[in-house]
Structures are given as structure tokens and as C-alpha cells.
């Protein structure tokens, strides 16, 4: 059974909600328990996306305990709710590490939450597995980035739309939530588009706050921008529950995917589950995994998920796969190192391999990013996303973008002799 502790409040109020298959109660010595921190918003604007990742970690912990635990010990999940409050993420991270004494943390969705906790993990030399696509331009020895970097999602999606197969798009709307991930990703995409000869007047950029709900004027502007004689697409880095009214307004104003396709980087099966998807059929999403992919690994994962969650209608999505891969790699590294010591586990992480859910193999590189396939899919009327294009092989995640001049010269490598997250590339 699942080992779980939910921490409410700043430090106190922790309660053991379940025990493990070892049959050991809450009086069990701390040395006999390996603690896994879960740092995801269970309330607020990001709960729509993050709650399912909390459940995915609990499923993985449950599976470990059913199979004897880790290093012969019970594994316990310690869950906190930073409530979509970015400074609170740092407080909760410190609580997990200093008070709860967790051995590892799986968490964060938005880049602003990750940026908030980063100094805490580096100060206390703890380990974070971050499972969501992000803007790159970062490399920390204390973070393993199991979601997509821009070269594993944003750039391939735009290249696809530029191609004849993708619609030969000439005009671009870069629409995002107003925080670091959309702004940095769009900085990279704008530079990339201009390198391909796209004129500045053919790029429209718009940002809205978290939880934005009034999309009528913005969608009207997008419709007008796309009606001026050049094939237009929307590249969406809109996050959280703002996607619900955004897509609803697209339908209200009759924006059809054949006319102005939208490719989303933060909308997957979980977000679509709360939408009427009929007007959205044909719009796109770019990820490294879709629930609809056919593979033995994916079939087994979906079966395990539905059995654990007890709801046959619950879906899976890309950040869940990234969580799954990161958790599997961490357990393999712990077994290899024979300890949960952060420095030892970090060294053991390099080169770890896990079969991904799309039929290939994910590899952890020394820049703390995975090698992953890139998939582009069309939204279906049942809320699933069907693959229309994918890379032939896995793509190595790049911490530093080749399209930002000051970043193009940097390299991340956390193994000897480099041991650096942002050194200049050697001149040879």
C-alpha cells in the first residue's frame, strides 16, 4: 500500500494517511524510511495541471512499496501544497528538506515556481526532479530536467508548421502567460523565426496574467491578424486554467484549425478533459508523449494509472511520463549508489536509461536533460491527441539555446573535467 504523508501548514499538522506494505506504523524509525517530497499546487490556478502529477508520484511510491520498497526500506511520500503561490514554493521546499528530511523532491510546474525554489535546493544541496517543458537557459547541479527543453518542443513545432506538411505558415502569434517560461521561449522563437526570414511585422506577441478569463478582444485581434493574406498560426504558451476560456473563445469566434491552427505547449489530455473539444478538433499540441501512442509500455502505464486512481475516465499526459521517467531513473540511481546521498545519486544518474512510453528509450545526459522524441499531435473530439508527426529518433535536450547569442556559446556538463552549468564551449 501507499506510504503517504500530507503536510498542512508551515511545519505542524503532518498526519500519516496510510501505511506501507511493510506493515510499519508512524513510530517507525526515520532511518528505516526513505522520504520523497511532492511539491505541486493542489489549489489555485495551476491545480488543473499539477494535481495529477502529485497522484503520479503517489502511484510510483505505491508501486515501490508493493515490490519491497527501496534499499529494503519503506518509501513515504510527503505532500505539500504551495497553492500556486510562487514565494510559498520556496517555503514549502525548505520545509520538505529541512523539517521533513526528504531524500528527493518531485515537483513544480511553472518556471517561476522552479526559479523560486532553485536557491533553496542549491543552498541545502538537495535534489529536484522537474517534469515539465520549460524555456531552458538554466542548468543546476541540483535539478534534473525531465520535461522538454525548447529544442525538444518549441523549435520542432514551429519548424513543422513552416513546412508544407504543417501548413506552410508565414505569420505567427506568440501568445503566452506573463512569466518567465513564455517570455523566454518566445524570445527564442522570435530569434528563430527571424533567422528563417520572417519579418517583424509578421510576428504578433501577446501576454496575459495567470488565470486570465476575458479573451474576447485578444482572440478578435488574432482573427484579424490572421485575415491579412498570409497563413497564420498561434504558438501558445498559455498556462493553467486560463486555457479553458481561451479555447472556448476560439470556438465562439469560429477560429477553425484549418484557417488559424493553434499549437500548444502547455495543453495536454488533462487540460482538455475539462473542455468541449468539438470546436478544437485539428488544433495542435507539441509534447514528447501522448496518451494515444501505441506501445506495450504505454498500455501497461495506463492500466496501472487507472487501477491506482480508481477512475477509468482519468487520462495520462506528457508531464506524467516525465515524472515516471524521472522517478524510475532516481530509483535506479539510488540502487546503483546503494544510498540516497545526493552527491552519490547525482553521479549515478548520468547515463541512466528508462524505456519511455512511446516505444523508445530515455537517457539522462550529463547536462541534466533527457534524450526524448518530439511528437506533434492533433486534438480529437474525444479529448485525445493523435500523433501527426514525430522525430525519427530521440533529441538531446539543450540547456542553452543556439538562437540566443550569449547562450549559443555555453555548454552544460556536470561531470569531470567540465563540472559546469554554463561554461563556454571549448574551442576545438
User: What are the tens digits of pLDDT across the range 396-405?
Assistant: 999 999 999 9
- The helix (run of H) or strand (run of E) holding residue 420 is strand 420-424
Residues 333 and 365 grouped into a single domain: yes
Residues 113 and 229 grouped into a single domain: no
Q: Residue 209's domain spans which residues?
A: 151-292+375-399
Handedness of CA 64, 50, 131, 77 (dihedral sign): negative
Q: Is residue 427 part of a domain?
A: no
Residues 179 and 217 grouped into a single domain: yes
Number of structural domains, the chain?
2
Question: What CATH number did the domain enclosing 165 receive?
Answer: 3.40.50.2300
State the Cα torsion 295-301-306-307 to the nearest 10°: 120
Residues 161 and 186 grouped into a single domain: yes
For residue 15, what pLDDT is reported?
32
Residues 299 and 288 grouped into a single domain: no
Q: Is residue 49 part of a domain?
A: yes
- pTM score, whole prediction: 0.89
Residues 155 and 270 grouped into a single domain: yes
Within 10 angstroms of residue 30's Cβ, the number of other Cβ atoms is: 9
- Cβ neighbours of residue 86 under 8 Å, at least 6 residues apart? 110, 112, 113, 116
C-alpha distance from residue 132 to each of 12, 40, 86, 109, 287 (Å)? 30, 12, 16, 6, 10
Q: Is residue 410 part of a domain?
A: no
Residues 98 and 235 grouped into a single domain: no
> Strand, coil or helix: what is 264?
strand
- State the alpha helices, DSSP H only, in 95-229: 111-124, 154-162, 180-195, 216-225
Residues 130 and 175 grouped into a single domain: no
Averages of pLDDT over each 10 residues, the chain, 428 residues: 58 33 42 95 94 98 97 98 97 98 97 97 98 96 97 97 95 96 96 97 97 96 95 95 90 92 93 83 96 97 97 96 98 98 98 96 98 97 96 96 95 87 76
Residues 135 and 195 grouped into a single domain: no
Q: Is residue 111 part of a domain?
A: yes
Within 10 angstroms of residue 205's Cβ, the number of other Cβ atoms is: 16
Residues 13 and 139 grouped into a single domain: yes
Q: Is residue 321 part of a domain?
A: yes
Q: Where are the beta strands (DSSP E) in 183-337?
A: 203-208, 232-237, 262-264, 284-287
136 within 8 A of 149, measured Cβ to Cβ: yes
Q: Is residue 415 part of a domain?
A: no
Q: Is residue 409 part of a domain?
A: no
Cell of 194: 527571424
Residues 170 and 126 grouped into a single domain: no
State the Cα torsion 375-53-76-13 to the nearest 10°: 160
Residues 267 and 367 grouped into a single domain: no
Amino acid at each position: 500500500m501507499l506510504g503517504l504523508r500530507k503536510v498542512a501548514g508551515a511545519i505542524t499538522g503532518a498526519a500519516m494517511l496510510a501505511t506501507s506494505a511493510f506493515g510499519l506504523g508512524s513510530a517507525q524509525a526515520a532511518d528505516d524510511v526513505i522520504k520523497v517530497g511532492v511539491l505541486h499546487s493542489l489549489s489555485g490556478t495551476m491545480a488543473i495541471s499539477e494535481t495529477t502529477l502529485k497522484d503520479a508520484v503517489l502511484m510510483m511510491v505505491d508501486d515501490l512499496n508493493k515490490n519491497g520498497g527501496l534499499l529494503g526500506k519503506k518509501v513515504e511520500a510527503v505532500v505539500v501544497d504551495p497553492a500556486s503561490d510562487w514565494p510559498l514554493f520556496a517555503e514549502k521546499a525548505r520545509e520538505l528538506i529541512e523539517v521533513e528530511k526528504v531524500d528527493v523532491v518531485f515537483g513544480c510546474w511553472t518556471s517561476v515556481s522552479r526559479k523560486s525554489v532553485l536557491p533553496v535546493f542549491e543552498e541545502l544541496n538537495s535534489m529536484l526532479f522537474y517534469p515539465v517543458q520549460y524555456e531552458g537557459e538554466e542548468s543546476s547541479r541540483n535539478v534534473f530536467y525531465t520535461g522538454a527543453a525548447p529544442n525538444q518542443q518549441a523549435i520542432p513545432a514551429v519548424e513543422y508548421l513552416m513546412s508544407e506538411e504543417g501548413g506552410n505558415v508565414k505569420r505567427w502569434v506568440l501568445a503566452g502567460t506573463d512569466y518567465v517560461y513564455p517570455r523566454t521561449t518566445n524570445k527564442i522563437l522570435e530569434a528563430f523565426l527571424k533567422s528563417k526570414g520572417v519579418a517583424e511585422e509578421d510576428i504578433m506577441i501577446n501576454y496575459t496574467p495567470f488565470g486570465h478569463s476575458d479573451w474576447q478582444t485578444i482572440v478578435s485581434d488574432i482573427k484579424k491578424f490572421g485575415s491579412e493574406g498570409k497563413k497564420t498560426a498561434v504558438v501558445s504558451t498559455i498556462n493553467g486554467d486560463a486555457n479553458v476560456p481561451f479555447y472556448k473563445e476560439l470556438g465562439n469566434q469560429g477560429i477553425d484549425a484549418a484557417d488559424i491552427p493553434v499549437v500548444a505547449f502547455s495543453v495536454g489530455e488533462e487540460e482538455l478533459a475539462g473542455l468541449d473539444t468539438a470546436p478544437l478538433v485539428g488544433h495542435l499540441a507539441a509534447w514528447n508523449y501522448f496518451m494515444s501512442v501505441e506501445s506495450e509500455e504505454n498500455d501497461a502505464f495506463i492500466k496501472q494509472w487507472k487501477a491506482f486512481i480508481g477512475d477509468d475516465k482519468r487520462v495520462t499526459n506528457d508531464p506524467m511520463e516525465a515524472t515516471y521517467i524521472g522517478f524510475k531513473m532516481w530509483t535506479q540511481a539510488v540502487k546503483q549508489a546503494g544510498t540516497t546521498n545526493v552527491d552519490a545519486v547525482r553521479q549515478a544518474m548520468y547515463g541512466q536509461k528508462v524505456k519511455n512510453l512511446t516505444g523508445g528509450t530515455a537517457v539522462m545526459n550529463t547536462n541534466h536533460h533527457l534524450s526524448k522524441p518530439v511528437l506533434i499531435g492533433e486534438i480529437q473530439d474525444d479529448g485525445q491527441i493523435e500523433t501527426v508527426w514525430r522525430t525519427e529518433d530521440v533529441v538531446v535536450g539543450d540547456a542553452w539555446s543556439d538562437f540566443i547569442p550569449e547562450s549559443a556559446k555555453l555548454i552544460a556538463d556536470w561531470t569531470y573535467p567540465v563540472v559546469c552549468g554554463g561554461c563556454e564551449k571549448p574551442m576545438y
